[in-house]
């Protein structure tokens, strides 16, 4: 085999041999290319379902799409369901967190999360007559789910060196303004129960969690979210250093606002967690949160970062 053929074989296999990669004795895989256009297709597909609030036909349809994606890729999939009170409903709801797992089982694992429910109301809409309408949620939160669904394709095609769990949270966005207890119902349940028997997460140990939320808007700017920076400073700085090293200009290593999101329950459990979020979004919780205000280029910035971290772990 000539040197050229060796390179070609390495590229074809999506891998890397020690002789090619220099002094390292352990081969580091080459991260596959993340496509913003492909992620955008996943964003649009979610929005084509319509609004996806907890307990709705829409979220059940999306759950079936996520399950089918895992099945078609040959990745393991689990639904972790429970009942909880949700704001705006008199009775309890059945909520389901979803987990797609890739790479080697058990051991140290990267957790990547996004909420797949959408808000039951557009309560910040400029038109008071439309504030009872359910949110379509292209950015909040189809964007994060879209990145994870495309990433699943890359993880299935090229196994990462360590296990990766893609976590889809239910019940994130049904709280009323100023009532923290109504938000992050799914992630709070999972943070308290992931070690329990039967949980696919119980067989491994997370190195850290990265949550993707509202990362789809055009002209994306992601600062260092406040809780992440205060409670997981080393993890958060490492993520942003990686982004800078990759030339991803959407990421600004400057302190941003503190936002109660799906990472906080895990920080409270002592798991290092970072929320990647651009909260400067004029269409937040309005009828204007539609695919037209999102951009493939934004999804690609975030997708490239988390893909790189899957194949070249931070620690």
Which parts of this chain interact with Zn ion (CB under 5 A)? Answer: 140, 173
Task: Tell the smallest beta-carbon distance from residue 153 to Zn ion (Å).
Answer: 26
Task: Tell the smallest beta-carbon distance from residue 289 to Zn ion (Å).
Answer: 9
Q: Which is nearer to Zn ion, 140 or 300 (CB)?
A: 140
Task: Tell the smallest beta-carbon distance from residue 119 to Zn ion (Å).
Answer: 5
Q: Which is nearer to Zn ion, 111 or 169 (CB)?
A: 169
Task: Tell the smallest beta-carbon distance from residue 1 to Zn ion (Å).
Answer: 53
Q: Which is nearer to Zn ion, 41 or 123 (CB)?
A: 123
Encode 226-247: b = buried (16+ Cβ within 10 Å), e = exposed.
Answer: ebbbebbeebbbbbbebbeebe
Q: Which is nearer to Zn ion, 141 or 232 (CB)?
A: 141
Task: Tell the smallest beta-carbon distance from residue 285 to Zn ion (Å).
Answer: 6
Q: Which is nearer to Zn ion, 140 or 153 (CB)?
A: 140
Q: Which is nearer to Zn ion, 173 or 225 (CB)?
A: 173
Task: Tell the smallest beta-carbon distance from residue 257 to Zn ion (Å).
Answer: 14
């Amino acid at each position: 085999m000539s040197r050229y053929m060796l390179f070609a074989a390495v590229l074809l296999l999506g891998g890397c041999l020690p002789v090619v990669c220099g002094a390292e004795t352990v081969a580091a895989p080459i991260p596959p290319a993340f496509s913003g256009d492909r992620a955008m297709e996943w964003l649009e597909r979610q929005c084509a379902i319509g609004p996806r609030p907890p307990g709705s036909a829409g979220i059940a349809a999306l759950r079936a799409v996520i399950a089918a994606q895992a099945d078609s890729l040959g990745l393991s999939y689990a639904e972790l369901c429970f009942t909880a009170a949700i704001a705006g409903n008199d009775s309890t709801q059945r909520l389901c967190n979803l987990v797609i797992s890739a790479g080697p089982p058990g051991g140290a694992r990267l957790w990547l999360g996004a909420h797949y429910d959408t808000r039951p109301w557009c309560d910040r809409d400029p038109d008071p007559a439309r504030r009872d309408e359910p949110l379509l949620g292209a950015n909040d939160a189809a964007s994060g789910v879209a990145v994870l669904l495309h990433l699943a394709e890359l993880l299935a095609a090229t196994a990462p060196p360590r296990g990766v769990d893609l976590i889809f949270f239910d019940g994130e966005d049904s709280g009323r303004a100023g009532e923290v207890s109504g938000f992050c119902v799914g992630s709070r349940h999972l943070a308290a129960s992931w070690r329990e028997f039967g949980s696919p997460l119980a067989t491994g140990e997370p190195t850290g969690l990265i949550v993707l939320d509202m990362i789809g808007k055009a002209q994306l700017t992601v600062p260092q979210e406040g809780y992440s920076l205060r409670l997981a400073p080393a993890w958060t700085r490492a993520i942003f250093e990686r982004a800078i090293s990759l030339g991803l200009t959407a990421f600004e290593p400057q302190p941003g606002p503190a936002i109660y999101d799906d990472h906080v329950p895990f920080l409270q459990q002592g798991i290092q967690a970072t929320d990647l979020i651009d909260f400067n979004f004029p269409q937040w919780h309005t009828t204007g949160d539609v695919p037209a205000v999102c951009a493939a280029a934004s999804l690609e910035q975030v997708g490239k970062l988390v893909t790189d971290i899957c194949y070249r772990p931070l620690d």
